Structure 1
Amino acid sequence: MKLSTKQKQYLKGLAHPLKPVVLMGANGLTEAVVAEIELALDHHELIKVKVASEDRETKNLIIDAILRETGAEKVQVIGKTLVIYRQSDARKIELPRK
């Protein structure tokens, strides 16, 4: 599912007051971190993930891996905080039409 600009803007507004649900540690992207992100996405649909990396290139590789492993869509990246969305079967968030 590809998000339109209008849908991303809507999700950014919803994500603004949220706190990061998953905080990556010094070990980087482990299977446990991916599993935690999967659980959070199933439960919330829209989450923030705090990516622990000083290097911009490494951070981008980690973000790409998270998106690939979870099948989520990137909504926004601000500093070390990644906002991602994946629609669940329950469809808790009603997106505006494209």
Structure 2
Amino acid sequence: MLTGKQKRFLRAQAHHLDPIFQVGKGGVNDAMISQLRDVLEARELIKVRILDNCEDDKHDVAQSLAAGTRAELVQLIGLTVVLYKESRNSKKIELPKVAKK
């Protein structure tokens, strides 16, 4: 689970990224989830664009993507979803540390 500070950090990192996947009329499917897992392992932070012709609710699509890839939903702004999943093999992003109470 990400803290607010970590989400803010990741939103700033994702700002310059372009969406590399699109969810269209077909919605979220297993092939897309499989590809997203591979890309998340390589990049850790990605943007996914939900197209206007997608018949599913954008919140449902965002939750399906996050659950299917076992990633953290960083942000849903407009029709753009930002996902983060820490890589096991090629860690690139160092998150801010959580303050202990």
Instruction: Name the TM-score, length of structure 2 as normaliser.
Output: 0.86
Q: Does 1:95 align with 2:98?
A: no
Q: After the TM superposition, list the runs of 4 or more consecutive aligned residues in structure 1 that deviate by more than 2 angstroms.
A: 52-57
Equivalence for 2:46: 47
Provide structure 2 residue ranges, at least 5 long, that are not aligned to the other structure.
Answer: none
What is the alpha-carbon distance in structure 2 between the residues aligned to residue 87 and residue 96 of structure 1?
13
Higher Cα Rg, which structure: 2
* Aligned residues with identical type, % of pairs: 36
Show the counterpart of 2:36: 37
Normalising to structure 1: TM-score of the pair? 0.89
* Gap runs ≥5 in structure 1: none
**AA of the residue aligned to 2:49:** K
Task: Provide the rounded CA distance (Å) in 1 between the counterparts of 2:83 and 2:54.
Answer: 20
Higher helix share: 1
Asked if the contact 1:51/1:59 (under 8 Å) is kept, the reply is yes
Measure how far apart 1:57 and its partner are.
6.7
Number of positions where the alignment pairs a residue of Structure 1 with one of Structure 2: 97
Distance 1:48 1:35 in 2: 16
Letter in 2 for 1:45: E
